[in-house]
Amino acid sequence: MPSPIPKKTHVSMTVNGKAVDGLVEPRTLLIHFLREGLGLTGPHIGCETTHCGACTIDLDGKSVKSCTVFAVQADGASIVTIEGIAAPDGTLHALQEGFREMHGLQCGFCTPGMITRAWRLLQENPNPSEDDIRTGISGNLCRCTGYQNIVKAIQYAAARMSGAEFKEAAE
């Protein structure tokens, strides 16, 4: 026999270094818990079909699309969202600086997902080739920039993080 459906389930997780908890329905998607439960509206809801990557977050050290995870599955997990990328004093991360310097955004809708994905990519591969970057962000769609300046923004950050200077200009 199917179970009676419980109204709410308790979940707790670490988000951007802070312990948080809440009550969710089992069907609550993680993106909705983050945005509506915790007020973290940085991760965006774009396509809702696991294509666009606007909802990308870091879950236990991996980039994931938070529109395709139930909040109950993330019980006990450690999560980083775009809100957790800058230093606590507000100093921008090299990636955020890169997106600004290289004009890596126009409308900005895809930017939180792009940066959060690139943040994990640069930990997986601190010295990526242009190809590695394009493959690495292949799960994130941008409908404005043509990707050129997004790739440059990530190259800028990779250079800065390894102590080098990035000499190219934005397109």
How far apart (Å, rounded) are the C-alpha atoms in residues 143 and 141? 6
Please give the residues from 14 up to 43 whose contact with another protein meets the rule CB under 8 A: 25-27, 29, 32
The SS3 of residue 58 is strand
- Which CB atom, from 68 or from 162, has the smaller least distance to another protein? 68
Smallest gap from residue 5 Cβ to another protein (A): 5
Whether residue 117 contacts residue 53, with contact meaning beta carbons closer than 8 Å, is answered with yes
Please give the residues from 92 up to 151 whose contact with another protein meets the rule CB under 8 A: 117, 121, 135-136, 138-139
Over 131-158, what HEC string results?
Answer: HHHHHHCCCCCCCCCCCHHHHHHHHHHH
Is residue 73 involved in binding another protein (CB under 8 A)? yes
- Which CB atom, from 117 or from 152, has the smaller least distance to another protein? 117
- Give the distance, in angstroms, between the CA of residue 159 and the centroid of all CA atoms in the same chain: 20
Is residue 69 involved in binding another protein (CB under 8 A)? yes
Given the rule CB under 8 A, which of 55-63, 92-100, 104-112, 149-157 is the region that contacts another protein? 55-63
Whether residue 162 contacts residue 126, with contact meaning beta carbons closer than 8 Å, is answered with yes
How far apart (Å, rounded) are the C-alpha atoms in residues 26 and 40? 20
**Which residues of the shown chain bind another protein in the complex (CB under 8 A)?**
1-6, 9, 25-27, 29, 32, 48-51, 53, 56, 59, 62-65, 68-70, 72-73, 117, 121, 135-136, 138-139
